[in-house]
Structures are given as C-alpha cells and as structure tokens.
Structure 1
Amino acid sequence: MIVVTAPTAKIGRRVVEQLLDAGEPVRVIVRDPQRLSPTVRDRVEIVEGSHRHAAAVDKAFAGADAVFWLMPSDLSAPDVMTSYVENSRPGVEAVAAHGVRHVVGVSALGRGTAVADRAGHVTASLAMDDLFATVTNYRALANPTFMDNTLRDIRTILGAGLISGPLAPDRKLPLVATRDIGGAAARLLLDRDWTGFAEVPVLGPEDLSGNDMAAVITDVLGIPVRYAQVEAASLEAAMLSFGASPGMARAMADMATAKIEGLDEGVVRTTGNSTPTTFRQWCTEVLRPAVDAVRP
C-alpha cells in the first residue's frame, strides 16, 4: 500500500495516476473526496482529513509500505518552520510508529549552497527533509522553480503582455514541469530498492531566462509578451496582500533573494536529473489552454 498526500494538487494527482496505472494499491489523504476525479475516487482507499493532523496520518499510514509527502505552504502560519517542519511532525511520528519503510518528499534545490540557511521556504523544506530522514529511508525531490508558476501570470499576460520575476532578464536558471516531478516521485515509489537519505534533483531539460520564457510565450500564444524584473521585496508586499502572515511573506522574499544569489545553481544537469517536458511543450499543452479558457 502506497499513501499519497495532497492527491488533488498538480504533483500529487500525477503520482496517483501513475501508481494506479502500474496496478499499485493506493490510499490517499484528502480533505474533500469530491475533488478527486470519479475514476480515481473509485480506485483508491480514502482517508478524509488533513495530513497536518495526527489522527489522519495515523490512520492512513497503518500498514503502508511507502508514502508520498507533499506539504503545501500554509500562508496563515507564523513562519516557514511552522508551515513545513512543525506541520510535518505528525507525519514523521506516524511514519515511525507504523514502520513505513520509504518516503518520497517534495523539496527544493539549495542544499550545500552558501545561502541555504537563509532561503525562506527552501530552508524550511530542507529541514523537513532532515526530520523525515531521522526515522526512515527518504528521497527528497530537489526542485527548482516550477513552470506551472507561470499560470499565476495569466492576468498580466492578457492585460499587459507581461510576466515578471526577481531575476535579471537574461539570468538563466532551471525550470521544471510539475508533471515531471510527479513522474519522478512515482518511479521512486514503484521501485523502492533504495535506502538511507538522498536528494534527487529534478531539473527540467534546459535553463531559461525571463526573456527566454517571454519569447516562448509570445510564440505559443501569438501575442507579444515581455519580462520585467521586480524587486524581491515587492514579493513580500504581494504575499501580504494575498493574506499571508508577515513571517510567510518575508520568507517568500528571502527565497527570491537566495535564488538571485545562486540557490538553484549548485547542481549540474545530467541525463539522470534532466526531465523531458520543455517550456515550449508546457506552454503549448498547459498554458495556452488555460489562457484560452479566460481570453475574451
């Protein structure tokens, strides 16, 4: 039995689909089972609740061979350590109590870099990884920025022909599609011939700058789009406007500053950590349909 947390999120949904396609028994923890697709809902065992809560993970992890762990950011938390580490403690304790042998978690690039201890969300994610690694065999999917974050820019793409970010326009960094992260997680869960702790970088197929991304979006959507650099501090104000606590908003700015200072540049791309989905393919298959759905 493999337990999947956050099964309605982009990554978790892909993990569930691939495990079911492989014929694995799957149990999910979900707040609202109606958010699962009918085809999935009829094929999985459901534990209703939040994996932040001890009762839910204790019930879900009983008899489990492996767990996929994705801890969403909690904007209401006072700080990132609470959001990722403290909210994960019930899961860690349940893994230990039930003797779950393998856990695959969604994490981030940055371990070993000079800025890893002041990188906001990433710093807390790495601490979460360390917590799980004390009780079981653990693989941390070390991810860069998600291509899917571009979906947040649909309004400005259509309204102003603009995407934005804290990096210089020509600064190239890795990007990854969430569906490829889900694929990497499923492979580790299906082939559990591994022990101990290790990071598994998931880098995407190429490094891209903001200008590169804007050029691809322009070509795919057929409308002019440009990239604009914004101050990292502006992300803090934006997060506050979305209802984030001051601590969580500050952490977003800290992560952006750390990326500017090299957080995502500590791992060299190889054939083993490169993933298949290009940004052009993602824009064609994901962004364009999303834009078309709201385009006047």
Structure 2
Amino acid sequence: MNIILGGTGRVGSATAQALLKRGEPVTIVTRDATRASALKRDGARIVEANIRDASALRDVFRSGRRAFLLNPPAAPSTDTDIEERANVAGILEALNDSGLEKVVAASTYGAIPGERCGDLTVLHEFEERLRAQPIPAAINRGAYYMSNWDSMLDGVRAQGVLTSFLPADLAIPMVAPADLGEAAAQRLISAVGDLELRHVEGPERYSAQDVADAFAQAVNRKVNVDIIPLANWKESFIRLGFSELAANSYACMTRTVVDEPAKPENPVRGTTTLQAYVGSLVDDRDR
C-alpha cells in the first residue's frame, strides 16, 4: 500500500492517479474526504486525518509500506513559516515506529538553509530532518509549478493582462503537477535504495512572456505582461490576503527565484509543455 499525503491537491492527486493506473494500491490522507470522491471511484482508499495528529497519522502509515510526503501550504493569512514547520514536525513524529520501508518527499528547486524565505527554507529543513531519521527517504525537488499561473486566467480573459512578479524575459524551470506526480510514483515503486536527490521540471524552460503567449493562444486574444516592481512585492502579497509575515516570506522566496534561479544540469524532464498545460486549464474551466 502506498500512502499519499496531500492526496487531494494537485501533486498528491497526480501521484495517486499515476499509481492507480499502474494497478498499485493507494491510500489518500485528507482532512476532507468529500474532496477525494473521484479518487475513491478510481479505487483509492480514503482516510481523514490531520497531519499534525502524529498518533493518527502513524496509524495510517502502519497500513502501508511506502509513503509520499507532501507538506501542504499554509493559509497565506497566517504565519506560513510557523504553520508549515509545525506540519513538518507532525509528519516526522508520525514516521517514528511507523514500519514504513521507504518514503518519497516533495521539495523544491533552490531549497536553502535558513528561515522565513517561504518553501525554500521550510522544505530544506524537511529534507534535512528526513535524512536524519532511519527510514530511507528519496527527495524530488520540483521546479516552479505551472499551476501557479492558474489564478491569472480571469484577468487574462477580462483585461488581456498577465500580472507577474517575475521579469518577462527570465526563463526558469517550470513543471506541470502531472509530471511531478509521475516522477513521485516512479520513485515510490522503485528499489528502496533509489534515494538520490532528483530535480524534476518540464521539457523546456519558460518565461512570464512565454506564459502570456500560451494564454493568448488558448483564449485567442492578445495578452500583455504586467510586471510588479520589487518595491511593491510585499504590498501586492498583502492585497492578495497574505499576512505581513507571510508577505515578507514570499517576497524573499520570489526574490531568490529571480536573483538566483536554480537550473540543475541533469533534471528529470516531464512531457507536459507549458502550452499544453495552459490549453488544458482553459478547456477545463470552459466545461
């Protein structure tokens, strides 16, 4: 049995689907079982559990042999660093005496030691703590999610504008959730000793201008890129509903992506192009 944390999110559900297509048994861990109805129809077992309830989560882990570990994002209105580190602590505690033979963890490109720089620092801590515990742990670092652009669709359609924190011409690694799920599934069923750090991205590297062009093609209208100046980043995050602490953290993470974009030499490359991803997004919204 494969245990999937965050199984109703984009990457977790993609991992579950990739396993189910292979005939592998899957248990989805979620806080709301109603969100997992499609996965249940596809054959997954659904368990409601809070990842901070270490005892309950350990019981779920004991029903399986391998687990996909994803630290779900905290609500941006909170102190996201504190909340997400509490998630890490709960997951790590639940692994104790769980009997799992291997775990696969989702991390991020550019993970760095430190604090208050969003996923870059929280997930680096997650990686280090996983390496320090006895269960063999494989880590997949994912590139910038193509799904981060999903919320731009309404603005693109209404005004023909794509708002971006990233420079229009900065090409960075991006990846579709489906490709992250496929990569995670492959590692869940591979040998226990398959533990090297891997980077996962799409078939090419893309810029905000490429994203605008992909939307333009999908919605059949001209789309311009509106770049948010660095001086306005924190204020922009706050207007989007972020707490001041979360806004500072996300601004730090965004600045690091812009100033020091991670570009590993030999990543695992998925097959989903940006154009295909955006086209599918638009088609799904139109149904």
TM-score for the superposition, normalised by structure 1: 0.87
| Secondary structure of residue in 2 paired with 1:130 | helix
CA distance in 2, matches of 1:219, 1:43: 36
Do residues 239 (structure 1) and 237 (structure 2) align?
A: yes
- 2:268 is aligned to 273
d(CA) in 1 for partners of 2:269, 2:140: 13
Structure 2 counterparts to residues 151-170 of structure 1, below 5 A? 151-170=150-169
CA distance in 2, matches of 1:148, 1:180: 12
Does residue 131 of structure 1 match 2:134? Answer: no
Cα RMSD, aligned residues only? 2.3
Q: Give 2:119's aligned residue.
A: 121
What is the percentage of aligned positions where both structures have the same residue?
24
Asked if the contact 1:31/1:48 (under 8 Å) is kept, the reply is: yes
Q: Which SS does the other structure have where 1:141 is aligned?
A: strand
Q: How big is each residue's C-alpha offset from its partner over 1:194-251, in whole Å with a ceiling of 9 and x where there is no partner?
A: 255x321011111111112212221232111111211245343343334433222211
| Pairing of 1:107-256 with structure 2 (within 5 A) | 107-111=107-111, 119-135=117-133, 136-194=135-193, 196=195, 198-256=196-254
Structure 1 distance, partners of 2:209, 2:242, is 29
**Corresponding residue number in structure 2 for 1:78:** 79
Is contact 1:6-1:29 (8 Å) kept?
yes
The one-letter code of the counterpart of 1:248 is A
Q: Residue 104 of structure 1 contacts residue 139 of structure 1 at CA under 8 Å; is this kept in 2?
A: yes
Aligned residues between the structures: 285
Which residue identity does 1:78 align to in structure 2? D
Runs of 4+ in 1 over 4 A off after TM superposition: 115-118
Does the 8 Å contact 1:116/1:263 carry over to 2? no
State the Cα distance separating 1:29 from its structure 2 match.
Answer: 1.2
- Counterpart Cα distance in 1 of 2:278 and 2:80: 33
Q: Which moved more, 1:92-101 or 1:143-152?
A: 92-101
> TM-score, structure 2 length as denominator?
0.90
Q: Secondary structure at the match of 2:268?
A: coil
Partner in structure 2 of residue 15 of structure 1: 15
- Measured at CA, do residues 43 and 220 of structure 1 come closer, stay the same or move farther in structure 2, by a change above 3 Å? closer
- Alpha-carbon shift at residue 42 of structure 1 (Å): 7.0
Q: Which amino acid aligns with 1:229?
A: I
Counterpart mapping for 1:100-111 below 5 A: 100-111=100-111
1:65 CA drift (Å): 1.2
- Residue 25 of structure 1 and its aligned partner are, at CA, apart by 2.1
Mark the runs of 5 or more structure 2 residues left unpaired by the alignment. Answer: none
Distance 2:193 2:208 in 1: 37
**Structure 1 unpaired stretches of 5+:** none
